Copies of this chain bind each other. A is one copy, B any other.
Amino acid sequence: MKFELTILGCGSAVPTLQRNAAAQVLNVLERYFLIDCGEGTQQQLRRFRVPYNKINHIFISHLHGDHFFGLIGLLSSFSLQNRRAELHIYSDKRLQEIIEFQLKVMNSRLNYPLIFHHLDREPGLIYEDRMMTVHAFPLKHRYEAPVTGFLFAEKEKERNIKREMTDAFQVPVAFMHRLKKGEDFVTPDGEIIANGRLTTAPPAPRSYAYMTDTLFRESFAEYVKGVDLLYHESTYGNEFADLAKETFHSTAGQAARMAVLAGVKHLLLGHFSSRYPDPAPLLEQAREVFPNTDLCYDGAIFELPAVKRG
């Protein structure tokens, strides 16, 4: 029951040899979500041994090249490798125009259904299945490329039956699904058996939020309140606060401030400017504000273990 993030690229506009363009894979319970798809993402997927044929959903934050130039190559490779499964893309609607125009001009067809879901500027649910949800929310970047953040969250799971206790109280099978939802059990004699005696709490639902590229705005904290893991861009160190503002990016200190405001558990910094061959100074700056911060690097894996509750 994994919840695991693999960083495929954490560079910014111009990639470096240390850092590829933006891309990540989030594995939630064996669902593989690709988040951004900069140039070279298909090679990074191979390099870090991600089972990329399992990717059925791709989320593109915005239409700057370092976040989507790898998409057409990945789509083509899927086709060459005889993919048949539907592929869903969540993005600015203009991405559909770009992809479809290229395929048309190339006289090329994909073997599998490609389904675009257009993101608007309203926060809301964009994906849901039995176990989890994805919400989108608007961030603030340059005018030509409206940016969307994403929040991936497990749903609350059902409670776990204590078999020896339900046997002892002779709970009928037909009542089990109500027990799992937290109801108390009433015996034929009218005795109330508290749910907590018959079940244990499931692990807490886990959550991950992705925020890049964006200016820092306090109001964004509401979208990512209390998430377990937050990836926040930190293109610059605090010494370039003016440049960050001018280019609609954030500093390490601002990323940390967001983590504090939103009360998240763990912060990851990424999208480092190529001026930082080693982004260690950014880590220091962030940790002064929010100690539980880590740096991303290409190939880094961050796993959220399932945590038992009381």
Of B17, B72, B94, B145, the residue contacting A43 (CB under 8 A) is B17
A14 at the interface (CB under 8 A from B): yes
* Interface residue total, chain A, C-beta cutoff 8 A: 36
| A70 contact set on B, CB distance < 8 A | 39
A106 — nearest CB in chain B belongs to which residue?
Answer: B63
A97 at the interface (CB under 8 A from B): yes
- Given A101-B98, A102-B98, A144-B106, A43:B65 Cβ within 8 A: no
A108 at the interface (CB under 8 A from B): yes
Of the A-B pairs whose beta carbons lie under 8 Å apart in the complex, a sample of 22, sorted by A's number, is: A14-B77, A15-B42, A15-B43, A16-B46, A17-B43, A17-B47, A39-B42, A39-B43, A40-B40, A65-B72, A65-B108, A69-B72, A69-B73, A94-B105, A94-B106, A98-B102, A101-B102, A102-B102, A106-B144, A106-B145, A107-B145, A108-B144
A44 — nearest CB in chain B belongs to which residue?
Answer: B40
A307 at the interface (CB under 8 A from B): no
Interface of chain A: mostly helix, strand, loop or mixed: loop
Query: Roughly how many angstroms separate A63 CA and B66 CA in the complex, as a whole number?
Result: 22
| A21 contact set on B, CB distance < 8 A | 73
A20 at the interface (CB under 8 A from B): yes
Beyond A39-B70, A69-B72, A94-B105: 15 further Cβ-contacts under 8 Å?
A14-B77, A15-B46, A15-B77, A17-B46, A21-B73, A39-B43, A40-B43, A63-B105, A69-B73, A69-B76, A98-B102, A98-B105, A102-B102, A107-B144, A107-B145
A289, chain B: closest CB distance, angstroms: 30
A170 at the interface (CB under 8 A from B): no
Of B15, B46, B97, B143, the residue contacting A105 (CB under 8 A) is B97
| A17 contact set on B, CB distance < 8 A | 43, 46-47
| A300 contact set on B, CB distance < 8 A | none
A46 — nearest CB in chain B belongs to which residue?
Answer: B17
Query: Roughly how many angstroms separate A70 CA and B70 CA in the complex, as a whole number?
Result: 8
A119, chain B: closest CB distance, angstroms: 16
A87 at the interface (CB under 8 A from B): no
